Amino acid sequence: MNTKKTQSGMHLNLFLEKRRCLVIGGGKVAFHKTELLLEANAIVHIISPDLSPELQRLLDLNLITHEPREFKAEDAANATLVYAATNSRGANRAILNACRQQNILCCCVDGNWSDGDFTTPAITRHNQLIVSISSGGTNCRQSKLVKNSLSRHLKTLDAAHLIVVGTDHNHLPVEDREPYHLTGDRYAHAGFMLMQLWGIHEFLLLNTCNRVEIIAVVATETAQNGILPHSMGFSSIKENKYYIKTGEKAFEHLCLVTAGMLSQTPGENHITAQIKDAIETAKERGWAGNMLQEWISSALFVSKEIKNETSQKLDTEEIEALALRYLAAKNDQPQNIMIIGTGLLGKSLVEESVKTHPKTIWCYHRNQPQLNPQWEGKVELISFNQIKNRLADVNYIVSAANANGYILTTAHAPFFDLEKSTHIVDLGMPRTIDPDLQSISADIQVLDLDGIKNWNRQGLCHFYDFLSTSRQIITHHMHLYEKITHNFQGWNPSE
């Protein structure tokens, strides 16, 4: 059984300018090696009885020198390196032996390669960037395939544009927005698909209850060809139902989002943590690196100044506080409440509900949360499977769960106490409460994220003044965007 020879080597970038290099042979392989040496500004001398038309053209242009004869051992003297590139394996072995005796580095282009001193990796160049690929002599075709693939990618690095493509509560109502949210396995699948696309240098996926976005650094063509909206599934909706922001507009958008100014409850703080989590997830999965991290860091810096400027004047309220305030407005007396979901939002809801509600029933799916000892007698833990048995015991329900289907459906209607009103707030995205549940009885009312937004709209009459102030702050810090752009593109001497 034949076993392929392999060698482990170290890639070097040899400086060969004005150094004498010898190529023995006059065929296509010799021409290829000669091209590489000329790219390095080496002094190239060819020894071969005959020259290919390609090598003859180089000779006619006085780019190489040539002796039309066979190789002699003394020819290797004073050469920096030698390529044995004849069509004779025996002749190439003799050249290698002569070089070895004179301590001259020699590369054989045939079956003698593993006994030589070096091989030439597959190389691709772009401006001043050089990338070399080698398989250790085991698979030259694979090395060439990788080289060609990387070469196409390097050409896209001439420009790096900041871009945001997404939709949110201001563009699509909750029932139309649901199909585009990246829940469960869809999040990882979307990231995998985007990783396969040329021209996307780095990206993160931001998926919250009121928006889904790709925030990315992309090549010029990718910013213009519509592949990102198509990848997000937006090609099936009207163009005014989603947004594409590039350059300074993309930077402004991210600063506003990070400051919570584009949230359903303007000024809320959860979005900052969500963006930080999104960039960390992107880095862990290999979707993002230093380029996008610098953009996010700059947006966080600007958003902090926006918050400092607006927080004392803007009546900031988190979404969970807004939900509880809505429920409190339905009854003067505190009522028993059910909280569905144990994530960050669910825990925050419980922390607030114990302050005013006599009893909180906290529902978990798989992992049972730990209760604060101070909540003893005020909070009861139950699993999702037990929810139907406790619906009659509560007047209020808030769902903050992350699920791919409805947790409460019309099938749960018989378990409600229809002698009293039950108010339900669904903060899930996708929604976790079937909106048709309220059609069963006038005493069951379901409010989703858009409903909360509309209920709270009257309290936002001065919001656009704060938005104007925020944009002024961003304009003042637009030099950060210019700095980022320079850092992305400054390595390219053509810029």
Does 53 score more than 90 pLDDT?
Answer: yes
pLDDT at 133: 83
Q: Are 276 and 182 in contact (CB under 8 A)?
A: no
With a CB cutoff of 8 Å and minimum separation 6, the contacts of 156 are 198, 199, 201, 219, 220, 221, 222
Q: Are 283 and 293 in contact (CB under 8 A)?
A: yes
CB burial class (10 A; 0-12, 13-18, 19+) of residue 171?
middle
This model's pTM is above 0.85: no
Q: What are phi and psi of 88, to 5 degrees?
A: -120, 120
pLDDT at 488: 65
278 sits in which H/E element: helix 270-284
Please write the tens of the pLDDT for every residue from 474-486: 999 999 988 877 7
pLDDT band at 184 (very low <50, low <70, confident <90, very high): confident
pLDDT band at 495 (very low <50, low <70, confident <90, very high): very low
pLDDT band at 6 (very low <50, low <70, confident <90, very high): low
pLDDT band at 404 (very low <50, low <70, confident <90, very high): confident
Please write the tens of the pLDDT for every residue from 259-297: 999 998 888 889 999 999 999 999 999 999 988 999 999
CB burial of 450-480 (b: ≥16 within 10 Å; e: otherwise) equals: bbbbebbeeeeeebeebbebbeebbeebeeb
Q: What gap in Å lies between CA 491 and CA 484, rounded to an integer?
A: 12
User: In this predicted model, which residue has the larger pLDDT, 462 or 212?
Assistant: 212
Strands (DSSP E) contained in 147-241 are: 161-168, 200-207, 211-218
pLDDT at 3: 53
Give how far the C-alpha of residue 274 lies from the chain's centroid of Cα atoms, to the nearest Å. 15
Domains of the chain plus CATH, in order, are 20-120 (3.40.50.720), 159-314+470-489 (3.30.460.30), 319-457 (3.40.50.720)
Q: How many other C-beta atoms lie within 10 A of the C-beta of residue 322?
A: 20
CB burial class (10 A; 0-12, 13-18, 19+) of residue 231?
middle
Please write the tens of the pLDDT for every residue from 381-401: 999 999 999 999 999 999 999
Does 419 score more than 50 pLDDT?
Answer: yes
pLDDT at 122: 82
User: In this predicted model, which residue has the larger pLDDT, 314 or 2?
Assistant: 314
pLDDT at 491: 44
Q: What's the rounded mean pLDDT across residues 404-427?
A: 93
